[in-house]
Structure 1
Amino acid sequence: MTLRLENIIRVKTSEWKECLTEIGEACAVKWVICNTNKQPTNITTEEAKATGIKLCFSQEYSCHRWGTYESKAASCVVQKQTKKNKCPALLCVNGFFKTPEFYEFVVTKDYAEHTPGDMRSDICTLPLAKKYLYKLAQQLEQPSKSASQIRIDMLRAVDQYGRKSERKVNYYDIWNLMNKINKKLYYFDRDQMTSFLIWMNNKLPTLNFNIFKAITSYSPDPSAFAYGFMSPVQQEKMKTTTSFCLDATHAISSNVNEILYTLLVRDKDIVRGWPVAFMVTNDRSVSPIIQWLQFLKRSFLLVDPKQFTIYCCAAEVHAIQTTFSATSIQFYIFHVIQAWNQKLSDSVKIPGSLPSEARILCGVMMKSLQEIIYEEDIDVFHHKII
């Protein structure tokens, strides 16, 4: 669709902004305001007629390809060609005192150097059509499909019913809109901590979540906290399991001190780890972990665990041994090797030799240590560590 020069389109005054958006989408043009309304708004129709003032509203919009752009970079090999080509197209939106119920759209200057919608690369820079944003929002608020499937369905709809001038949906559209919806659905305050506490104290308990709150009066930091939570399904899953994995995820938010602890079990159906409990804390000491494990024990959720698999973390070892003295602990092989590498790097020094020689020796020692880890025969294992 292309607007003809000097062709007047009348729209309802209350709907002129929506019409401007629709015209832009239909014409593959993003109209950019270049001259805002300067008409008097505090006079009556009679006063306007007496003084000869005809316009009650007047605003001008230029084509998104209006103007010029010159890169200020000294050299840029991958610089894209600018979309600016001095297009003089001008759209005027006028309102008259004699017909206040209508606004008029008219193109007073025609396009030059391009035809709207003739370049795919140009269409890609335009905003997504409003109707598609609405459909995306509807599907994302009730997520029964993946983002990939939503995009495929939307592309099929565009191919079947859409206009050639409309930009197609991409993953950035879905991602950006998903972020907005997530903030609307899951953020209850601008302050992250306040929003988090609303979840812990108000929202999750109504869903029958089991909530844990640590006592942090021992900490000199008044902002120290530790909260754990479990869904009803997770609680049932934990009761029937004896082997657990305790995982720690650091830097989960803008506050680098915050840690997410996750208790996982091996699910027989999906043959992979399945989380059964979470704890969020900004206290890196052993106390929150001990309190959390003791809470799970008192709640008869973590009754008699036989084995824990953890990182090479002294705090986690101490917490488990304090709460479950008879439980065996094993470490992740990756983290064991990582700890050995760090220890060898810090400890192995050869006086009077080059650093490269020390690295070679570390490599030989590391190879011997790895052979111990992967040894399956118990007698050979004992022989190697003696």
Structure 2
Amino acid sequence: MRRVTILGSTGSIGTQTLDVIRTRRDRFVVHGLSSGGSDIKALAAQVLEFSPAVVAVARATVVQDLQLALYAEASQRGWNAGDFRLPKIIAGPHASTELAAEPVDVVVNAITGAAGLRPTLATLGAGTTLALANKESLVIGGRLVTRAAAPGQIVAVDSEHSAFAQALRAGRKDEVRRLVLTASGGPFRGRTREELVHVTPDEAMAHPTWNMGRVITINSSTLVNKGLELLEAGLLYDVDLDDIVVTVHPQSIVHSMVEYCDGSTIAQASPPDMRLPIALGLTWPDRVEGAAPPCDWTTAATWTFAPLDDEAFPAVALARRVGTLGGTAPAVYNASNEVLVDAFCAGRIGFLDIVDTITEVVDEHLSAQELPAAHVADTDLSVEAVLAADGWARQRAARLVQERAAVH
């Protein structure tokens, strides 16, 4: 029986993790759940179904709301007051970090964005296996995170990085020539830069193969998400970024590949279903039988691969640049993007402004002379430096949004 804590339990990955656990209650028990508190009703339903010992919420103001929602949910199920026990509730901006440090077998970090960094470090500090869906914490934490992790302690939940982990079992590290990171291409695959000028948030949210949350879906349309995955792959598997190539594979069946020195390429293929990498994250290196449906080999299918158009989608090339520099540069890339995604969805900037403005913020960061704007190298990196750069980048991106709005 594996004891599991899920951070970000009401989000897309969190709910799918509970889907995996729901039908395998003989294998898993949920110790803790955490949520930002935006969907208290969903959190209350999860608590009553899985009976965690601890629940963490990001704002103390929602504790009473959660308690009331628990009673309301129990009443709707026809339960009496004595039919369930309230979990321990911890609240505040560091609640998920506190929960992550509690002893369990696996912590699934499915928090969105930079807020996942401290919980990631707390999990690693506790010696717990980290099933990492919050790629941002590894990207912005960089060597802080990899140095804190014991060998094999981080298990990637992203489908691409789970694919790498599976394919890397086919050979020795010194036999690996390069990693091949697949990208669906998003909803705008094949369009030129000029054809992207007037795309809308609704169009950007219409991902052709995956059903994901808002930020990751917009990131997939700009390919910022692929840039983050490039950085994550380099850190997870200690591979030079020049030895990771991105190829566009719109069917999203081959989730990534490893090319070996003898010319062999090992691919991991399965229909697009996050329950497979989630299940592997919970039990790695063992597999969970029936975690997701396999490919149907009785039906004709075509898989295609094409090079990435860096002119129309420059986010990956920019990520390669900031990843090569390391230090606080990836944090600035990520933080400014989060602000710009919000601005785009609010109709305050255009689609192309997202990556163009990230580039502008990154360039300012690299040329600045004074902290927190100035770049801090890997050798001097700290949590404080990362978070300071993150905060500066958010403020600078927000100011640039205001300036662009004033011009238009």
Q: TM-score, normalised by structure 2?
A: 0.20
Greater radius of gyration (CA):
1
Q: TM-score, normalization: structure 1?
A: 0.21
